[in-house]
Structure 1
Amino acid sequence: MSLIRHVPELAIKSKALLPNGEDFDVLIAGAGMAGLYTAWRLQNDGLQSPQLKKLADARPDKRLKIGIVEFSDRVGGRLDSVIIDGMDNVPAELGGMRFTESHQLLNLVIRDLDLEGDIGPFDMTANSQFTLRGERLDEAAIRNGEPVPYNLEDAEKKKTPNELFNYAITKVVGPDALSYTDANWQWVKENFRYSDASGVYDNAALYNVGFWNLLYQVLSNEGYDYCWDGGGYNSNTINWNAAEAMPYMLTDFSVTPKYLCFKDGFHTLPATLAQRITQGPAPVPIYGGTRLVRFDRDAGGRLTGEVAATADASLRGRFSTSYLVLAMPRHSLELLDQDTPFFNAAPVQWNIQSVLLQPAYKLFMAYEKRWWDPELFYRGPTITDMPLRMTYDFGTEAEHGGAPGDQRALLLASYCDMQGASFWSVLERGKVHALPPSWSMTAAKGGAPAPESMCRMAEGMLKKSFKVDGKEPEPSERVGAYYQDWTQAPYGAGFHAWAAHYKASDVMRSVRQPLPDWPVFICGEAYSNQQGWVEGALCTAESVLEDKFGVPRIAGLPDLYPLLTPPPVKPGDDEPFKTYLLRDTPNAF
């Protein structure tokens, strides 16, 4: 098996624990995109905040003292890349791999960091291939009336799985839903009421309805199974908040997004941010391999807390800080000591539990050359009801600027979530657990080489998925394989979804500071209006900076650009600032 190389730019250089008694103005827990962005903005513009300038003025150097503690030994959170078999031009994107032109804050950060030259298109097929219930299908054939192996009702036929999702949603909200803007959808979320003929729902707000419950009311059972199998993401059909699910799903067909990526890997973004904040006249230290254990308030109301080495809990340190920013998702928050006044408060738990954890798994396999039809299975996603779920062709070294004739190809062999993640996780090891599974550091260390049993299982499914005219192709020589299970600590999930019975727009605002008298703030993708996207992480962090610290909005971002949710506009009414759908694909992964 070939060499797997982690991207060195993500490694945190400082591994020292916080010294006992270290005193900060702002301490940030988490070196993912929300945490890095917060530190970068505070480093550049923090003194424009009256309350922060007062703290800086009290220090001899007149500068804010900012620090970051990070559970793992690298920055980036759920942005990570590895190089398989020396294929430097085709990095394996273990986490986020794409974004769109509509993500204004992310694109602004890219510009400010002088990274525009690193951006290229993220190509996807215009005619996805499917293997469902053992039969090969494609989108064009389905639309032309090719029978699918599901006993669909007449109104459900001649629709791809995503189009059937859209059909179900328009049956509830109306046919004009396909053209709604974000502001229109915000009005629907707040004002639309749903009733059904069976009497299960009577004038119910959509945020009090589960999406699975809703689909069951408007689709046949076979129609639901078709959406589940052919949608690629199992998480799309779970019982999450219907008010949030519907605009999220409709964006696949209501806009034609242009997908973008970092040509050298998405890790370029957090690596560049980390370099900027740890260097310069007011460097921000990042303490890697250091986890926040607990925090409380002293008699004067100042925050005090404890950290520990991730690899050795006996190594401890203490700190104090005026402000604490928890830039982390739900599971990471729940890894902190919950038996404290802060976490024992009902508003804190109410906010934290407002999102559902969505497991995600990626298995990359590299080959000496393509052994699948590159035109028929162009880029991806190729979708199947087998545990592979989705497959993407990342291309060859030669196609991405490597040596001419270098035909080594990288395949995202399995991109799956929910149940699919549990299928592959059992194949990660061939022996009994020596330690509690929850203590595994595999995810925090950036994944691991895929064992032979996992690779053979995947190749058996890939042969079926890449079958043409009834013939299964034979794999070429495999030169490497690597996986990442985002379900493991400290992440707990690849992405998140709003739970039913929560009004998400209210939570997005309250979760930022769950207890008004505690200077503790929460931000990140999990509690955003763009879950699964880097843009969501950045927008929640920017919102905390503006509304809680009084830092002016980052230069170049329109004043009316919604960081959380836009003001609601009833469909059909004039919209002075024409909003657009911000979530253009299921998620950045």
Structure 2
Amino acid sequence: MGGVVVIGAGVGGCYAAFRLVTGSRDVTLYESGYRVGGRIRSVPVRGGGWAELGAMRLNREAAPVMALLDHLGLADSLTPFPFGRPENFVKARGNLIRQRDFADAVRIPYAVGKRSHGTDADGLTLEAVESAVLGFGRLRETYHRAVRERRPADAASARARYRTARGTAVVRGEPLEKVSWPQVLAAALDREALRLVADTGGYDVHTGGAAPWIDVLFHTPPQAEYVTLSGGMQSLPRALHSAFEAAGGRTRWGRRLCRVAFADRPGGPYELTFALEDRTGRDTGRRERVRAGTVVLALPQDALRRIRTEPGIVGPSWRDDLEAVEPVRAAKLFLAYDEPWWRACGVETGRSTTDLPLRQLWYAPGGAPRLLLAAYPSGPSAAFWDRFGAGPPYHVPGGADTFDGGPPAPAAAVAHAHRLLCHMHGVRARPPVAACRQDWGRPPYPAAWHIWRTGRATEELAARMRAPASMGAPASGGALYVVSDCWTPDPGSIPGTLGCAEQVLREHLALPRPPWPT
């Protein structure tokens, strides 16, 4: 019988492989591409800093992740990641205001009046949640204060009281678990307030379930302190992978899992069939078969969909459970300039939002002073940029090496984004010297993150996804597990991914707690 095979070298796969090999397991890690990180990808920028094409920040209150970074020797590379600042802009309905202007309802271009929790998108969102889950704001404050002060019993008490309040919440006669997030907003906010949230929140209002999204909001600190890694966010999966190989683990690149079957008998070890792909992602036509006693699928929804399984490998609810979450598309367009022209507008860092197709933009992200994350649309807004997909890539003489290995951006998209930026800020800036763009809505990554569908987020379903085999417990010779952020309480996040991995490792693979707090 083979050892443990981990499929996928994203942060979840690298973490699971690292924990298993240091737990004296024989582990081989398979990856369809030729880099670690998955949806975490850091591209170096000439002159310093990073273009974070995927995940770009961490919440410092995520203690297990902070402890892991310390264990890996990365804690000293944590640096502040500025979020919304008072001087940042909001461009909506043709008006340009500062974030601080939301303190005066008269100055904003929406007739929302004075509100109990403020007139910006976050305040109106909290108002809607409070109308559904009584005492939400107070319970969230109590919970996070206890977490910061390291009072676990008080934190657990606040969380339990929140779950009770959420469990009895009703929206227009329906239990909270059966309504969507837009229904919660519509039940509490008038038309102008709804428009403000949609226009200025930065992200498109998603259509997923209300209950799991309110859970995410509860576990997000009211005044979150965000940080990033000065060596790029990808340094986390890279450090995990390096530690994995240093402990004796093996990595096989360019191998995409396409089929899982039983090697000998039902319930026995598995035979895995891999398609060998080249560095462009093209299938070479060659196949490789491997035996494994235990398989950990560290993959997102779409990659799991495409795996063919022999009858009996997974349970009867597998296909339906896969669809309990829906993919959300997002795209990032980075523009590098010869000078940070936005400083003349009174802005140096942080995030501005707009109802223009840019949706949200970040100044000097990743420690790169001349860089703009110029457009970061998500959901339906991302489709606007499809019209610029064809045509030559953007090129300026001397700018080709600005992004070391970053994917090119269409010249037409860059030109349009630059025009919108100048219009939004009221400036005439010189065109960018370089650009790169990542569309998390195109293969091999057809989603940036996932959200729970209404009525589907249950602990029972999440548990089935972690251990989907209908038969084949470890004692019978084979075991198959899933490590993914998709079916967790915090989908789309590093803490969600690592938390799922820990559950699989401890509950099903009998690993002890790691030497750092989890």
What are the Cα deviations for residues 546-573 of structure 1, in whole angstroms up to 9, with x where unaligned? 0001100112315xxxxxxxxxxxxxxx
Cα drift, residue 154 of structure 1: 6.3
Partner of residue 251 from structure 2, selected from 280, 286, 299: 286
Answer yes or no: is the 8 Å Cα contact 1:230–1:384 preserved in 2.
yes
Q: 1:100 to 1:292 in 2, by over 3 A?
A: same
1:425 maps to 2:392 = no
Query: AA paired with 2:381?
Result: G
**In 2 relative to 1, CA 36–395 (structure 1 residues): closer, same or farther, beyond 3 Å?**
closer
Distance of 1:155 and 1:123 partners within structure 2: 26
What's the secondary structure of 2:437's corresponding residue? strand
Q: Is 1:32 the equivalent of 2:3?
A: no
Tell me the residue number matched to 2:70: 111
User: Could you give the per-residue CA deviations for residues 450-499 of structure 1, whole angstroms, max 9, x where no partner exists?
Assistant: 12211111011111222xxxxx2112352210000111223221111111
Structure 1 position 447, deviation (Å)? 5.8
Cα distance in 1 for partners of 2:219, 2:89 equals 20
CA 1:341–1:446: 2 relative to 1, 3 Å: farther
Aligned partner of 2:361 among 386, 391, 395: 391
| Cα 1:507/1:138, change in 2 over 3 Å | farther
Match of 1:192 in 2: 168
Does 2:282 match 1:308? no
TM-score, length of structure 1 as denominator length: 0.76
For residues 520-566 of structure 1, what are the alpha-carbon distances to aligned partners after superposition, in whole Å with 9 as ceiling and x for unaligned?
111121122222221111110111000001100112315xxxxxxxx
1:445-464 maps to which residues of 2 (within 5 A)?
448-464=407-423
Amino acid aligned to 2:26: K
**Separation of aligned partners in 2, 1:449 and 1:370:** 21
Partner of 1:320: 291
Q: Per-residue deviation at 1:325?
A: 0.6
Structure 2's unaligned 5+ residue stretches are 144-158, 393-403, 473-478
Aligned residue number for residue 124 of structure 1: 83
Aligned to 1:272: 239
Q: Is the 8 A contact 2:55 2:233 kept in 1?
A: yes
CA RMSD of aligned residues (A): 2.4
Corresponding residue for residue 580 of structure 1: none
TM-score by length of 2: 0.86
Any residues of structure 2 matched to 1:158-237 within 5 Å, and which? Answer: 159-180=119-140, 181=143, 182-189=159-166, 191-196=167-172, 201-202=173-174, 204=175, 206-234=176-204, 237=205
Partner of residue 96, structure 1: 55
Mapping of residues 390-409 of structure 1, within 5 Å? 390-394=360-364, 409=370
1:291 and 1:187 mapped to 2: Cα distance? 44
> Structure 1 pair 349/151, CA: closer, same or farther in 2 (3 Å)?
same
For residue 136 of structure 1, give the secondary structure of its aligned residue in structure 2: strand
Classify the secondary structure of the residue corresponding to 2:287. Answer: strand
SS of residue matched to 2:66: helix
Q: Indicate how the Cα distance of structure 1 residues 486 and 381 shifts in structure 2: closer, same or farther if over 3 A, else same.
A: same
- Range 480-489 or range 211-220, more displaced: 211-220
Structure 1 residue aligned with 2:376: 415
Change (3 A) 1:217 1:268: same
Per the alignment, in what secondary structure is the counterpart of residue 549 of structure 1? coil
CA contact (8 A) 1:351 1:514 kept: no
Q: Deviations over 1:314-353 (max 9, x none)?
A: 1111011001111011111112226x42577432123211
1:527 maps onto 2:498 in alignment: no
Stretches of structure 1 lacking an aligned partner (at least 5 in a row)? 1-22, 48-63, 401-407, 432-444, 467-471, 559-589
SS in 2 for 1:27: strand
Q: Distance in 1 between matches of 2:447 and 2:50?
A: 22
Q: Which residue of 1 aligns with 2:32?
A: 71
How many angstroms apart in 1 are the aligned matches of 2:385 and 2:60?
Answer: 34
Please give the alpha-carbon distance, in whole angstroms, between the structure 1 residues aligned to 2:499 and 2:315. 26
Structure 2 Cα separation of the partners of residues 349 and 108 of structure 1: 36
In 1: Cα distance, 2:453 partner to 2:138 partner? 23
Partner Cα separation in structure 2 for residue 430 and residue 286 of structure 1: 37
- Residue in 1 that maps onto 2:150: none
Check conservation: 1:124, 1:378, Cα contact below 8 A.
Answer: no
Paired residues in the alignment total 477
Shift of 1:388: 0.7
Cα distance in structure 1, aligned partners of 2:507 and 2:136: 35
CA contact (8 A) 1:76 1:271 kept: yes
SS in 2 for 1:123: coil
Q: Deviations over 1:411-435 (max 9, x none)?
A: 110112112221223323228xxxx
Give structure 1 regions of 4+ aligned residues with deviation exceeding 4 angstroms: 153-158, 342-345
